């Protein structure tokens, strides 16, 4: 069994869910958590790659705290997407009808030092 698993982008009502499972202590059962993320009505190019990179980076910094690494990754990504939408709107584009290239360079501070706005909650799946 893998000690850490993340599933991103599960659609649930008007939100996306990130579901994580990790074994904090060897020999103990894994703990699950979820992060609810409001769905943004736009199509972005590169979000999966960015999310993977952010999870990898934050997991490297917090190897024993997948909850925290996930909170930081989701918060970074959402800040980048919000900046992207704002830039496109300012330029006169409709974020709902265009494919949006994410604003990585403009969002460096949000990537390096995100404000955690999306918190992990314990999750107990019903079987």
Q: Report yes or no: 20 and 32 within 8 Å, Cβ to Cβ.
A: yes
Domain boundaries, the chain: 4-122
Residues with catalytic function: 49
pLDDT in tens, 27-63: 888 889 999 999 888 889 899 999 999 999 999 999 9
What's the pLDDT score for residue 24? 76
Within the chain, strands assigned E span 4-12, 15-22, 31-38, 43-45, 99-101, 121-122
What's the pLDDT score for residue 127? 59
pLDDT in tens, 86-107: 999 999 888 887 788 999 999 9
Distance CA 106, CA 81 (A): 11
CATH topology of domain 4-122: 3.40.1190
The structure's pTM equals 0.89
């Amino acid at each position: 069994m893998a000690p850490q698993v993340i599933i991103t982008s599960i659609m649930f009502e008007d939100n996306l869910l990130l579901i994580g499972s990790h074994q904090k202590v060897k020999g103990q059962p894994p703990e699950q958590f979820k992060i609810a993320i409001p769905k943004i009505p736009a199509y972005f190019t590169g979000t999966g790659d960015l999310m993977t990179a952010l999870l990898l980076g934050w997991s490297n910094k917090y190897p024993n705290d997948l909850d925290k690494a996930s909170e930081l990754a989701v918060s970074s990504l959402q800040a980048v997407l919000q900046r992207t939408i704002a830039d496109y709107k300012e330029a006169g584009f409709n974020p709902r009808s265009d494919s949006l290239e994410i604003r990585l360079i403009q969002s460096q501070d949000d990537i390096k030092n995100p404000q955690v706005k999306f918190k992990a909650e314990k999750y107990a799946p019903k079987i």
